[in-house]
Each structure stands twice: as C-alpha cells, then as structure tokens.
Structure 1
C-alpha cells in the first residue's frame, strides 16, 4: 500500500515539473483526482473548482454544456491502445479568457490521463491572417465598408468573447464620430453615440479621438470622461471601455476602435495587442475602401468639374431611356458648349479656362433638379439629361441656364473679370424607342444650329418632328 502511495506521489511530482497541462480522472466515477501546476497556470482552475468532469465541463465549455445534444470531449472513445484521437477546441478559462487547445487522453484501467496543448497563439495568428484575407477580398469585391467592419469586429470578439466592440468613423468636416460597426451593443446605445462630437470628457471614444491617443477607462462609473454618460452606460450594462484612435498611413484620424466590458477591468498586454491588431486592420480597410471608391469615382467623374464624365452619362441615360419606354414619360438631352472657349484660353490662359468650366458646372447644378443628370462629355462641351418634363419646361430650364451662365464671371490669374456664354442644343423625345446615340446626335445638330444662329442662344429639335428656333 505504501509503495502505491509513494508511486502516486512520485508521479504527481514528475507531472508538476512538466510544462504540459495534465490531469487525470476516474473513468468509473468521473471524479477529477489530480491536475498539475501547468494546468492551473494555463486555465486558472484548481482542483477545488473542478471536482468532477461534469463541473469542469460546465465551466470550460458553457456553450456546449447548454446543449444537451453536444458530445463532451471527455466522452470520446479511445482506440484499442487506450489513446483518444486529437481534439481541437476552445476552452473557457477561469478569468473569462478563451484558449484554443489540443486535447488527448489515454486510459489505463480506471484512470484517464488528460493532456492539454495550448495552441492559442497559432490559432490567433491563423484567424487574423484569415480575417485580413477576408477583409481584402471583400474590398476587392466592392463590399460596403459597414459590412467589412462588422467582419473585423466579429473576429476580435471571437478572440475575446467577454468583449463588446465598436468602430466609430471620424467625420472631419463636422468633427463628429459616426457609427461604423457595433453589432452587439444595444441599438439605443449605438444611436446615442452616432454623431457625437469629439472632445474632452466625451466618453472614451470622443476623448481618444480628440486627444489622438489611447484612452483606458477601467471603471466608467467613477471616471470623469464618462460623467455625462453613466446613465447610458448603465442601461447598456457596460462598465469599462478602452478606446484607441484609428490613424491613417499618413497620420490623419479615421475613427476609433473600442472594447467594452461588462465589469470594471484593466486591459492585459494581450488585450492591448488585440486592440493594436484591430486598429491596424480597420485602418487598412478604410483606406482600401476609400482608394477603391476614388478609383471608381475617377472612372465615372470628371476630375476638373466634379461632374459625371462621358461614360457615366451614357450609362445613366441608357437606364433612364429604358425606364421612359416602360413608363411612357418624355425626356430630353441638352447639349451646352462654351462660346469662343479657345479665345478665353488664348487671352487669359488655361487656368482661367479651367475656372470657366468649373463655374459653368457650379451654376448648372444650382439650376438643375436632383433627378437631372449633367456631365462633361468633351473639352468645353456638357450634356444634360432632363427626364419627365415636357418640351415647354425643357425650354424654360435651358433659358434659365443660358441667362445664369451669361451673367456669371470668373477672375483671371491677373484679376481681370472674365464673362462667358454658352450655346445650347436640345433633343426632345415624347415617346417611342430612341438610343442615347440617336438623341445625342439630334442634340448635337441642334447645338450646331445654335452656333450658326450667332451663339448664346438655344435651338431645339424634336425626335421625329420639326425643329424650332427659341
């Protein structure tokens, strides 16, 4: 008997010196009889916390434990030699953190010896690489920024299940934070935070954005930064908030990333490293989406005037022409050309010529409706699509444009006043099928007639109808 006791003691001494987390249990009773030092250090539990497998399972795997159909890893059957297959799973530690572990056991008689291999670092690295890859793929496929940011938040919350995360985007014009992604915080909380102005004592995020540095609030209810928002935090059941500013590659503020906790808490080094990872990934996502949007904008919009370009105009016209055919509403295309534009460039320089084109665009957008489409389709040539209005109204709009442009003025590089005019040609379609090219050709002919009539005037041609001088 003494020899058996001594053997057991010697085995425990040996297992306490190994860096591998080890424990053993009784097969017949399910009682956990021993865990080594590495086990307690890794998971935080001691033997008094987990006296049997049922208790250990409820602590370490609460989600599976709540499912009566889940198969406990402890119930796996070993092979003929008494060894189990490898099992990789998440395990909840006593402090609420999560570790990814590899589990094996061997059975000898009534004893089942468990081995736990901590693979959290490898799992985290793989998950983060996958999250980064998924994010970049979503950017390439044109996914919306909110959808991409939600993926990032979910990844962080997988690594830290006790955390609730929020991404706010910085509106530089209004100096406010706008909701980017916060899928698991209450909707009332998100609505209250959306649009909040940055500044001191504006919670963790408003202050972090204002200061441009990390803000750690371990206890929301005792901290000055949250003194105006404690009721909101209490309703949302959050008690700690750690927030980092998200910076662009050029050092400008893009937004904030925050981790909320249900109870007062200070971040560990791993928490801070996780925040750094999240901020970096969010920064890449925002800048990538903005770059993609900029490329798309350049593909469809004129860099000088900000109006649509020829490709954009044709695409929009084609869609509206199809709609007009189905719904039976009239539409017109109006062509505008700056009169004697070469003379402006020759007399005042190309920079002044650019100002003339920008002014024309600005004046036109003030007069046209939201549903009208204007584009720069050539050097000094502009086209406008006017859907749903009849010919008389089209002529009134054209005359308003002509008069407004005639009275417009820009200053040359040497501060001389430069006035300019436009000639306009209208192609009007009341019904029937007509292609964009057909209407543009008719409008171009009308524009030629306007130029021939002395410039600074309007000429209209109706599709399959007679022309008229206005």
Structure 2
C-alpha cells in the first residue's frame, strides 16, 4: 500500500498545479478589460477559461486513470498467474507419487500429502503436530540421523535411506530428500521432505544378494545346513518380526527333519524334528503332506496345532505360515515356514516372500544334492582308479605314484627301501574247486593278512589276479626286508576257513632294494619281478632277494 501512495502523488501534484495556473491566467486576462465592458466580457471570458481548464483537467485525469488502470491490470494478471502457479504446485503435491512432508522449525509435521497416507497408513490428522520419528522402526542407525541433522542445521539439503515402520507394524524402506526452508535472515522456518517408497527395489536387491550368496556357498562346497541357514537369516534380517525355519523331508517321504532355524527356541526345534507328515501335523506337516500352502493365523485356536499347543505356547508362537518346497521333478523336498509371536494374517507381499524363499531353498537343496552326487561319483571313480574294488588295496597306478615319491624321498634323505613282488601258489585250484566267489573271499583275506605284517607307512598293492607288490619304507638292509617277506609267507601258509571250506595256499616273494639293486622305478620293479620268478623256479613257497 505504501508503494501505491508514493506512485500517485506526482500525478495529483501535477493536476493541482495545472488548476492553479489556469485560475491565475484567467484573473490576469480579466484585469486587462475596461471596466465598462468588464462585467459582461469578464463573465464570458472566465466561463471560457473555466471550460478550457476543465477540459484540460479532464484530459489529464483521463491520461492518469488510463495509466493507473493499465498498472492495475498488470498487477491483477500477475496475481492470477501467481495463483495458477500455486494451484498447479498444490495439485502436483497432492497427486504426487512421492510422499511429501512439511514440518515447522521444530520438526513437527504441519502437512502431508495423500501419498504419505497411502504409504504409512497415517492420515494428516493423526500426524499433525507430531515429530516424524513416529515412523521410526529402530532399524536405521543413529549415525545416519546424526549426519542428517548436521547437514540440515547448516542449511544444506540431505538425501538418504530410512528403514521405517508403517502404522500396521510392517517394515518398509524409503529414500528421502529433505530441504530446510530459510527466511531472509537465514534462519530455518520449515523443512520439506520428499520421500519414495523403495521397498520393492530393496527386496529384489536382497533376494538377488541371497541368491548369489547361496550360489557362492554351493560353489565353495558348504554344507547344506549352512546354505539353508543363510536363507533363513536373510529373511529374518529383512523382517525382524518374523521367525523362519526350513524342514527337510526324509528319503522315505514320511517325516520332516530340521534343516535350518535361527530364532526359534532349541526345545521347539527338537520337538518338531522328525514329525510325521499328515493332515493336522501342524502347518508344516500338513503342507508337506498336501503339497499346498498352509496359513494358520492363530495357532492357539487352530485344530492343526492342537497336539503341539503346549510347546508353541512355551515358545511364544502366535501364527505359522508354511510353504511346501518343490523340486524340479514336482516333488516335495520340505517346507519353509514363517512364524510370528502374535496372531498374524499375511499380506500379498508376505505370500510373495514365502514363495520366493521356498523357491530359493529348492534351488539350494537340489543343487547341493546334485553337487554331492557328482562329488561322490568323482570320488568313486577316483577310488576305482586308485583302489582295487575287491580288496580295497591300492592299484598299480597309485602304487607307481607312491613308489616314485618314495624313491625321491629315499634319495634326498639317503635311506633304503625295498620292493617286493608276491605271487600266490595254488590259487587257480581254489577257483576251480570252490568257484570264483570263494576265490574272491580268499583274495580279501590274503590282503588282510599281508597288511597285518607291514607297517602303516608301508604299502600293499594288488596289481593283477593273484599278484601283489609291497613297498617297505626306510629298511635297514636286505635282511630286514627278507624278515618281513618271511613273515608274510608264513602268514599265508596258515589254513583259510572260508564259506565252510578249509584251504591252503603258499606264495613266492621276490625282493629288490634301493639303491643297492636299482635307483629308478622301472629297473627296481623289473629286478623284484625277476627275483620272484626265480623263487617260483626254485620250487615255490619261498623268498628270493635279487
């Protein structure tokens, strides 16, 4: 209003000065007319001058009001544009897909938009005058809030992520951008926060992290219980109000056994371990039996839990949702269960969570079993390549490797070693008389007797039907090796009682020493073999040193 008054004063002053000038001019003109004529002429002249002055005044007033009107129109236009902008901004905020919160200088809420209500469940009336900390879940570290207020107090904008809690108790993630509003003196008068619900994105990221973690554990050969526990821990970390467990169906498909559990009491896990599946066997036993999801919102009143009410009450369990874990062959592998301490109904996102967790558990179980089967198969093939299927003794391949290593060690430490070739006498008649099954039993018993005659550091190997080799580490001399060979020969001379039959055999043993008889594997082997054939030629059932 002060500006308008100041702007109009020059115009009014101009009008007053114009009128004064005209009136003075009129008086001057009248004074020049003779007195005899002055009365009529002065009246006519004055009238003309007044009319002229009024005309000039009218023109000046018209010009003045024209410009004033134009200024007024411009102001009105600016006012309308300002109102349109405010209306547009208000509509944008009201219909924004992001939550908008305005708080006063004390951080008490003065406005929230409809999206805030959709996300949190709180209406404007419920939060008006309250501090935004009513959304706190306790899962956001205090250091983040300290950093936020440090920037805001300096008049700077802040961006970050919160883990908050909705009115219904659910946890959610939001990304917040907060700006302080400053007055002309640089003091904060308000805070404006624009926040996005990023829960879905966070859950996808969490699921991907867990999936990668499971694959990592599988690749490292971790045990199945460690892998499944990682899945359980990931869900409970994301949803602290939940308690999870994984139960595995046994090979017979009749009982559930503990697979993984972190938060449930040990006594409860022990109580349900080995539970027989069937209708009414809790949520998990029923889910495994029917192959369908079982939602029990109130354990205390549900008939499925009647038999377990004492242990669930002691454990403080209020609800249990169980999802069957299906393998690729559409076979139930176990169950994934989510417990709450109070009566609880699942939301759509909870159903998605339990399904995703069960699917991840299925991947872990099947891939673990596949990896374990592959490992056992490889182990079996390695054993077949290195150990005799019948006697369990090392084969020629493994024995050759050990002989090479022993020769290198003996050379480095300046030690002696002995190599023995052994061939059974009278073995073929045993096969012919009693059959190959009894012959196999005989070979097994021969292997046992030979091993009982040597040290754990020595090696007995089967290299053919009834041919064996023995490696003696660190022997003093040929006599020491001969003594061991004689011990073996005498042990094999003792009668064998097998399958209701008694049988007698003998053996020929040839000995070659390193480095006395040879310094390489090939020559040492050839010399021990030659010594054995000399024992055969000399009448069998004897020991010969090369």
TM-score interval (norm. to shorter): 0.5 to 0.7
Aligned with residue 22 of structure 1, among 100, 113, 125: 100
Whichever of the two has the greater Rg, that structure is 2
Aligned with residue 227 of structure 1, among 306, 309, 314: 306
Higher normalized helix content (fraction of residues) = 2
1:32 paired residue number:
109
Q: Does 1:96 align with 2:169?
A: yes
C-alpha displacement of 1:8:
8.9
1:240 paired residue number:
319
C-alpha displacement of 1:53:
5.9
C-alpha displacement of 1:240:
0.9
1:75 paired residue number:
149
The two structures have a TM-score, normalised by structure 1, of: 0.65
Query: Do the aligned partners of residues 131 and 9 (structure 1) sit closer, same or farther apart at CA in structure 2, a change above 3 Å counting?
Result: same
C-alpha displacement of 1:104:
0.4
Query: Do the aligned partners of residues 196 and 107 (structure 1) sit closer, same or farther apart at CA in structure 2, a change above 3 Å counting?
Result: same
Aligned with residue 262 of structure 1, among 334, 341, 354: 341
Q: Distance in 1 between matches of 2:508 and 2:286?
A: 56
Q: Distance in 2 between matches of 1:274 and 1:147?
A: 21
Q: Does 1:117 align with 2:199?
A: no
> What secondary structure, in the 3-state scheme, does the structure 2 residue paired with 1:278 have?
helix
In the alignment, is the contact (CA less than 8 A) between 1:300 and 1:312 conserved in 2? Answer: no
1:175 paired residue number:
254
Which gives a bigger RCO, structure 1 or 2 (Cα 8 Å, sep 6+)?
1
Q: Distance in 2 between matches of 1:158 and 1:53?
A: 29
Aligned with residue 361 of structure 2, among 273, 279, 282: 282
Query: Do the aligned partners of residues 308 and 249 (structure 1) sit closer, same or farther apart at CA in structure 2, a change above 3 Å counting?
Result: farther
In the alignment, is the contact (CA less than 8 A) between 1:34 and 1:47 conserved in 2? Answer: yes
Q: Distance in 2 between matches of 1:382 and 1:248?
A: 48
1:105 paired residue number:
178
2:370 paired residue number:
291
> What secondary structure, in the 3-state scheme, does the structure 2 residue paired with 1:244 have?
strand
C-alpha displacement of 1:83:
5.3
Q: Deviations over 1:101-120 (max 9, x none)?
A: 11001222311111111222
In the alignment, is the contact (CA less than 8 A) between 1:106 and 1:112 conserved in 2? Answer: yes
C-alpha displacement of 1:86:
2.1
Q: Distance in 2 between matches of 1:208 and 1:96?
A: 27
Listed as ranges, the matches of 1:383-422 within 5 Å are 406-407=498-499
1:61 paired residue number:
137
Aligned with residue 195 of structure 1, among 258, 274, 282: 274
Q: Does 1:84 align with 2:157?
A: yes
Q: Distance in 2 between matches of 1:312 and 1:204?
A: 55
Q: Distance in 2 between matches of 1:224 and 1:336?
A: 73
In the alignment, is the contact (CA less than 8 A) between 2:291 and 2:332 conserved in 1? Answer: yes
Query: Do the aligned partners of residues 14 and 278 (structure 1) sit closer, same or farther apart at CA in structure 2, a change above 3 Å counting?
Result: same
> What secondary structure, in the 3-state scheme, does the structure 2 residue paired with 1:77 have?
helix
Q: Does 1:145 align with 2:224?
A: yes
Q: Distance in 2 between matches of 1:292 and 1:459?
A: 51
Q: Deviations over 1:361-405 (max 9, x none)?
A: 9xx99xx9xxx9xx9987979999xxxxxx9xx99xx99xx968x
In the alignment, is the contact (CA less than 8 A) between 1:219 and 1:264 conserved in 2? Answer: yes
Query: Do the aligned partners of residues 252 and 111 (structure 1) sit closer, same or farther apart at CA in structure 2, a change above 3 Å counting?
Result: same
Name structure 2 gaps, 5 residues minimum.
1-79, 183-188, 407-421, 471-483, 510-520
C-alpha displacement of 1:459:
11
> What secondary structure, in the 3-state scheme, does the structure 2 residue paired with 1:301 have?
helix
C-alpha displacement of 1:153:
1.0
C-alpha displacement of 1:206:
1.2
Q: Deviations over 1:312-348 (max 9, x none)?
A: 998xx99xx9xxxxxxxxxxxxx999x769x99xxx9
Once superposed, what is the RMSD of the aligned Cα atoms?
5.5
Q: Distance in 2 between matches of 1:301 and 1:97?
A: 51
